[in-house]
A and B are shown apart, each in its own frame.
With several copies, the nearest count.
Chain A
Amino acid sequence: MEFALTHDQIQMQESLDRTLERVAPLDRIRAVADQPTPLAPDIAAAVAELGAPAVLVPEAYGGLGLGVLDAALLAEVLGRHAAPVPYIGPVLAGLALSLSGSESQKLAWLPGIASGKTVLGLALSEFASGARMDAGVSASQGMLNGKALFALDAATADAFIVADRAGGLHLVTANATGLTQTALTSIDRTRSIAELTFKDTPSEPVDQGDVANTLIRMRDAGRVLLAADTLGAAQRMIDRAVAYAKERQQFGRVIGSYQAVKHMCAEMAAELEPCRALIWYAGYAQDALPDEASLTAAHAKAHLSEIGRFVARTSTEVFGGIGITDLLGLHYLFKRIGLNRQLLGAPERLRREAAVMQGFIDA
């Protein structure tokens, strides 16, 4: 019985953390975020070098063959730095291909994903979050039609994994005929999302094995990664608020000696710290405890969404006025948490799903 990170996992996190401190300092994040789309090939390359997109790819295809927990630990560090790199898209697309791709699809795409040379985007929103604006994709005879909203990591994608209305998965190259990609701009300028419209767009099915299960595993893994991203961003906001409170003086003393400020920081820490264990468990469950995988993923994502919102707001409050300016760049973390909340299932939906999974109510 050991509920702790391994030495390797800690090292992996620390090494990504150090790298991002070097290649993605605030002014670099700001420069990327000020572009129309968040393109940062240098940061993406540095992150790929450390194996981030390779984390779930089997070793046979050039990956690390690690688990969702490891992927979540990396997501946490990416969130901590508001790193403007594709991650959830390639990781989940890779998972889709690993679980349900044909051998030739695996050979064609997984090594590229693992090396970071190929980026795959992901259109899973309607399946995981529900459909807005009647979006949805229909597949028939190798052609896709319809529209997918909020496709993740779209800007630099070479291809997309697309979930259709019927629960099928498809691989579509970014330059396929009839595919129109419209960039959507969110509050979070460090990650790219897009609307994809398909008009008789040729696609390859990703249909080996139990595809329904693959979809669920992708959704659940995605939820854990988003929750971990929020954990990292929120922890960073607390760290920065605490550090600021120890330095900043008002009315003749550091603000961190005021009980009101101390208690705000204590409340944030008390709320966030147990989330870490929840993410660890949910990440571990994805590979080791299949019966608990969906439930813990839903709870992790929902709970981190709520605690993340609380921390984002409260830590900004600790800073006072300077916290809402661009100067300290806190808002990149704030917005990252804000976007994560709505992706792959908003908390209200997730809690309802969690109840259905346990048979408390009918679907």
Chain B
Amino acid sequence: MDLAYDAQYAAFREEVRAFAEAHRHLAPKRTGHRPTSEQIVWQKLLIAHGYAARTIPAAYGGFGAAPDILKSRIIAEVFAEYSLPGGLANQGISMLVPTLLELGTEEQKQAFIAPTLQGEMVWCQGYSEPGAGSDLASLKTRADDDGENFIINGQKIWTSTAHAADMIFCLVRTEPDAPKHQGISYLTFSMKSPGIEVRPLKTMTGGAEFNEVFFTDVKVPKTQIVGARGQGWFVANATLKHERGMLGDPNAALSRLKAIIDLMKTEQLDGHRVMDNPLYLDRLMQLQARVMSMQFNGMRILTSALKGEAPGMAGLIVKLQGCELNHQLAALAIDVMGELGVLYHGSPHERDGGVWQHRYMFDLGLIIGGGTAQIQKNIISERGLDMPREPKLAPVSARA
């Protein structure tokens, strides 16, 4: 147990800090789904210094450094310290690029990785379908082989960024008669292809963070497959692996906790600081203990990663606990504000732009979507505790 960084890393931290000091004036604002020109400039600057796309080979537009988790963490810490936006973190970068690096053809790598990293090519992900839910492998979007092209028909849902995307990476059923996990292929194609319709999917937050995407006879050249035909399920799982790490970040919880502390120091009820209400204070402290636990648990996972060891249970529980924690933090923030806490939609007296209500609802979506809490519990019990999988059912006719 040693929480100090050694000299090499201490020096690296100073280097990143120097960069931050020198370039903070260039930091772009966070915006919508498509990077602005300021964001693209910033992204290219980060890549050039190795603070984004750090381990992607230079041949494909990355910085080309050897993987070093500690350096990645230091970069994240310093950027958080200076409240600077880090490198772009869209689905193209976090999911498609690793997949192409692992399974793409040289041509695909050359065509897609660099523009994606630079924010000039924006991707969306076409996995989920309305009828499939957690049972992703039961997807029905069909890709018929006409010799040269796949002809795609079907519907995707939960496709964030679809309305702003240039391209989609998408799971489609190419072998309708194969067992459900073996008839799927992983395709990439342009969102400008004829036959694609994008409909925004409004959620309870009032925003449209997701879309439905409809395909009607969309033609995709058969060369645009990633991995082997029928192997799309396994290609996608290589990608999903990367996604899990994106959720349950303890730094998000930590910064929310700090914001609530400020809120409780400033908001008043009947002239008393909310902080002086013992019930809210007790909830705050309960959540602080949880935030700390997850933060330290994150350090434990990081250490495992540094040693090349699997984090085991410490890793498996992150999503379940992290999403729940963020949701509980939002609930506390709302409660300490009382009636002010329910104001929304830009109402007068709304606090922090309604962000707490937005989070309370959006986080519920994270608990539910992207591998529900229910599925996380299955994973923890089966992979973490080695408990048996749900036994197979008798045929439908045998059910009482």
Does A touch B (CB under 8 Å) in the complex?
A: yes
B2 touches A259 (CB 8 A): no
How far is B345's CA from A335's CA once the two chains are assembled, in angstroms? 13
A302 touches B289 (CB 8 A): yes
Residues of A near B277 (CB, < 8 A) are 348
Query: How many Å from the CB of A44 to the closest CB on chain B?
Result: 22
Q: Would you call the interface of chain B mostly helix, strand, loop, or mixed?
A: helix
B201 at the interface (CB under 8 A from A): yes
Query: How many Å from the CB of A74 to the closest CB on chain B?
Result: 15
How far is B289's CA from A319's CA once the two chains are assembled, in angstroms? 29
B190 at the interface (CB under 8 A from A): no
Stretch of B51-59, B94-102, B222-230, B383-391 contacting A (4+ beta carbons < 8 Å)? B383-391
Query: How many Å from the CB of B332 to the closest CB on chain A?
Result: 11
B348 at the interface (CB under 8 A from A): yes
B339 touches A125 (CB 8 A): yes
> Taking CB as reference atom, which chain B residue is nearest A339?
B342
Contacts A267-B377, A348-B280 known; A321 to B365 CB distance under 8 Å? yes
> Taking CB as reference atom, which chain B residue is nearest A150?
B339
How far is B337's CA from A129's CA once the two chains are assembled, in angstroms? 11
Query: How many Å from the CB of B70 to the closest CB on chain A?
Result: 6
A132 touches B385 (CB 8 A): no
Residues of A near B300 (CB, < 8 A) are 3-4, 276-277, 280
Contacts A259-B390, A342-B338 known; A3 to B281 CB distance under 8 Å? no
CB contact between B339 and one of A189, A296, A342 (< 8 Å): that residue: A342
B364 touches A313 (CB 8 A): yes
Stretch of B37-45, B142-150, B171-179, B367-375 contacting A (4+ beta carbons < 8 Å)? B367-375
Contacts A342-B341, A361-B276 known; A256 to B387 CB distance under 8 Å? yes
B255 at the interface (CB under 8 A from A): no
How far is B320's CA from A93's CA once the two chains are assembled, in angstroms? 41
Contacts A69-B1, A303-B290, A325-B202 known; A250 to B134 CB distance under 8 Å? yes
Q: Mark A166-186, 1 if CB is under 8 A from B, else 0.
A: 000000000000000011111
Residues of B near A270 (CB, < 8 A) are 317, 320-321, 377, 380
B381 touches A321 (CB 8 A): no
A274 touches B294 (CB 8 A): yes
B297 at the interface (CB under 8 A from A): yes
Residues of A within 8 A of B (CB): 1-6, 9, 69, 125, 129-134, 149-150, 182-189, 193, 195, 242, 245-246, 248, 250-254, 256-263, 265-267, 269-271, 273-278, 280-281, 284, 288-289, 296, 299-300, 302-303, 306, 309, 313, 316-317, 319-327, 330-331, 334-335, 338-339, 341-343, 346, 348, 351-352, 354-355, 360-361
Residues of B within 8 A of A (CB): 1-6, 9, 70, 128, 130, 133-135, 138, 157-158, 201-204, 210, 261, 264-265, 267-271, 275-282, 284-286, 288-290, 292-294, 296-297, 299-300, 302-304, 306-307, 313-314, 317, 320-321, 331, 334-335, 338-350, 357, 361, 364-365, 367-369, 372-374, 376-378, 380-382, 384-391, 393
